[in-house]
Amino acid sequence: MVTMQSEMRPSGAGAERPAPAGSDSHPQDAPSLTPVTVGVEEEYLLVDPVSRELSTEAGAVVKEAAAELGDRVTTELTAYQIEVRTRPHQTLAGLADDVRSLRASVTRAAARLGLRIISSGSPVLGQQMPPPITSGPRYARSVSTFRALDDEQSVCACHVHVGVPDLTAALDISNHLRLWLPTLTALSANSPFWQARDTGYASWRTVTWWRWPIAGPPPFFESRSHFEDLVDSLITTGSIMDRGGLYWDIRPSHHVPTVEVRVADAASTVNDTVLLAGAVKGLALRALQATSEGRPAPRPQQEMLRAASWRAARDGLAGKGVDLTTGHLVPAISQVRRLLAEVEGALPLNEASYVRAQGSHLMTGGNGADRQRAAYARRSSLNDVVDCLISASEHTNG
């Protein structure tokens, strides 16, 4: 695995940022768990700052940004979307700097073309249907294979990659993290609006994404051969085009040595992205520790796991979630507290402090969906929601 280290600058007023960890850390500051690398892929939507509607100029913005970012910026399925990729990092500090740098570069590129970016799981205002699909053989094959399924996929996610030594480790992490997928959905929900209306869901992207043949919570994998045989069957039946079409909420990456957690909406702020990455990193460390100690992964029923994920997508942090250990409804906030307590002990002390502070801020100030709705409630204006997202997405100084 490639690893990188990055020092953080002093925090701005009122901003809590992950302190640097690594060679300058004291040994007692970190638990005795195997270090892992972490990176993210973020997807943005391109908007016109005057009309606030989606712009189809993603290809032009990507070309502009690529002069600085190279292949770390690319197009996505629709002409509205842009994707960026961080490098892998050993610390949340390095990751945070990388995310800020990428957002700043894409923001500058979009501004030179008179456009802005928003990091949201779904568009706020209406859009052309079917959406304009980015040119290229893979996207053309997708349209040919999946047809109208592509019509509602102008949605954006935040994918967290955790470096692993091999496929077996990736599957172990996947098995252990399945239990936490609904809580990660509630924590990261940021897509309440679709086609200029409130859907009633905190994460409408989750519901939209589940329409793919192979999507949602992954199965429990009994072995490496179980995974390989299943994937071969899915390809043989045409349910997926190739391994890149495994759209489970967790999957072994098909092109880099990582396990990829794909459950989250695109996060409106840098801090939201880094909080998510910190939570996933901590859960992955816990999973590796459990595996090394021979402790089995929990095995919630697939039907209950999907039901709990649906409930989390609908209610986010505002309602109740399904406790998969009891089958009862409990406050979603209590599930987030449990998740944060789980990961804090796995992270270095400075990163645990950051995750605790940002998690507390999220529980009091709301997730992305709550903040979008709050922006709308002030004047019943969807334009205000877009403006709020522009400000949050492009702010990279704190």
Q: Cβ(37)–Cβ(90) under 8 Å?
A: yes
Q: Model-level pTM?
A: 0.91
The two tokens of residue 67 are: 């002069």
CA 218/CA 226 separation, integer angstroms = 13
Calculate the CA dihedral of residues 207, 211, 217, 220 and round it to 10 degrees.
160
Q: Does domain 36-394 have CATH number 3.30.590.20?
A: yes
Instruction: Compute the average pLDDT of residues 18-38.
Output: 52
255 confidence band (pLDDT: 50, 70, 90): confident
Residue 34, pLDDT above cutoff 90 = no
Q: Where are the domains of the chain?
A: 36-394
128 confidence band (pLDDT: 50, 70, 90): confident
CA 317/CA 299 separation, integer angstroms = 24
Q: Higher confidence at residue 14 or residue 92?
A: 92
Q: What is the pLDDT of residues 81-95, one digit of tens each?
A: 999 999 999 999 999
